[in-house]
Amino acid sequence: MNMAFATSLYTATGKRSIFKIIKPFTCSAATRRIFTVRRNFSCSATVATNITARVSEFDIENQKNDLLSLVQDTQRGLVTTPDQRSCIEEALVSLEGCTMGESVDLVRLDGTWRLQYTSAPDVLVLFESAARFPFFQVVGQIFQKFECRDQSDGGVIRNVVQWSIPTLLEEQEGATLLVSAKFNVVSARNIYLQFEEISIQNIRISEELQALVAPALLPRSFLSLQILQFIRTFKAQIPVRNPGDPGRRSVGGLYYLSYLDRNMLLGRAVGGGGVFVFTRAQPLDL
């Protein structure tokens, strides 16, 4: 899973349909002109003084709001038209240009980021599977958690997917799929990911399943309570190995951090792996 996978999300209702009819979307000439004007105005260079023009915070916030508005009705990238994807890409490029050349700030990168949009096939396949198979639902949030505050050249990244199985697990946070990787800074904006482990944890079974395992109206036996405790604390861990040579280091990939500020992160999986739009989230305990 090359999720940096190497996408404010909508809080899932758990009952909604993944696919929905969306209104025809076109990226009008006026809309393109807005992005063009903002890009040329905000991110231009003063040739005479050879000093890069600093973009006003107000203008950057406007560009970020434009981008979030464009991805708002795409269900994290699952339902998009070609015109929408074109306008989103244009807005991404415009915002990315505002911090071009700046190095990655690991202190600012540290923390939890919530996925708003992606075009990465290996992430979209999760959404598509949830739409096709009723027994698997990606109903919660998708996060990327960086742990690098006290590091100078790298750290740990954890990709977090909250999912559920209807009637068996809780609707919003039934279980957590965790993909962990180490990363090293290899250039000003590129980090190299080396995936290490895939795990399933934080299983929260539904009230229906709890009642089946240990009926509330009957005396709960020691065995039934032990079963419930085992399910709640269960954690499956699968190490990631190189399929060609298990003795070599695990698979990895380059991830380009194209924009970063206090509340937004944009990334691109190098090699055509897709784009990612994240916003800052509350700290996530794993």
The 8-class DSSP code of residue 48 comes to T
Checking if the pLDDT of 92 tops 80, the result is yes
Using CA atoms, how far apart are residues 263 and 38, in angstroms rounded to an integer?
20
| Opening angle at CA 96, ends 24 and 157, nearest 5 | 100
By mean pLDDT, which of 30-34, 62-66, 118-122, 165-169 is the weakest? 30-34
Instruction: Identify the pLDDT of residue 19.
Output: 39
List of residues 6+ apart from 175 with CB closer than 8 A? 162, 163, 164, 165, 169, 200, 201, 202, 203, 204
Query: Three-state SS for 282?
Result: coil
3-state class (DSSP) for residue 210 = helix
96-154 per-position pLDDT tens digit:
998 877 898 999 999 999 999 999 988 887 777 655 655 555 556 889 999 998 888 99
Quick: pLDDT tens for 171-188: 666 678 888 999 999 999
Res. 64: pLDDT tops 90: yes
Cα 43 to Cα 108: distance, rounded to the nearest angstrom:
22
Ranges of beta strands (E only) in 32-105 are: 45-46, 51-52
Pair 14, 164: CB distance under 8 Å: yes
**Which residues are within 8 A (CB) of 69 and not within 5 positions of it... i.e. 6 or more apart?**
none
Q: What is the pLDDT of residue 94?
A: 94
With beta carbons less than 8 A apart as the criterion, state whether 119 and 77 touch: yes
C-alpha to C-alpha distance for 128 and 141, rounded to whole angstroms? 15
Over 70: is that where the pLDDT of 242 sits? no
- Share above pLDDT 70 across residues of the chain, in percent, rounded to a whole number: 56
Q: Output the pTM of the full model.
A: 0.70
Please tell me which residue, 244 or 198, carries the higher pLDDT value.
198
**pLDDT category, 45, cuts 50, 70, 90?**
very low
Residue 235 has pLDDT above 80, yes or no: no
Please check whether residue 130 is in contact with residue 18, taking contact to mean a CB–CB distance below 8 angstroms.
yes
22 vs 132 pLDDT, higher one = 132
pLDDT for the residue numbered 201: 75
Q: Helix 82-96 and helix 57-71: axis angle, to 10°?
A: 160
- For the record, the structure tokens of 40 come out as 């040329």
Q: What is the mean pLDDT of the chain?
A: 74
Domain 56-241+252-280 annotated CATH 2.40.128: yes
HSE of 80 in the Cβ direction (CA atoms, 13 Å)? Answer: 23
Residue 126: beta bridge partners? none
Residue with tokens 């794993």: 286
Greatest CA separation found in the chain?
83
Out of 26-40, 56-70, 228-242, give the one with best mean pLDDT: 56-70
For residues 250-277, average pLDDT: 90
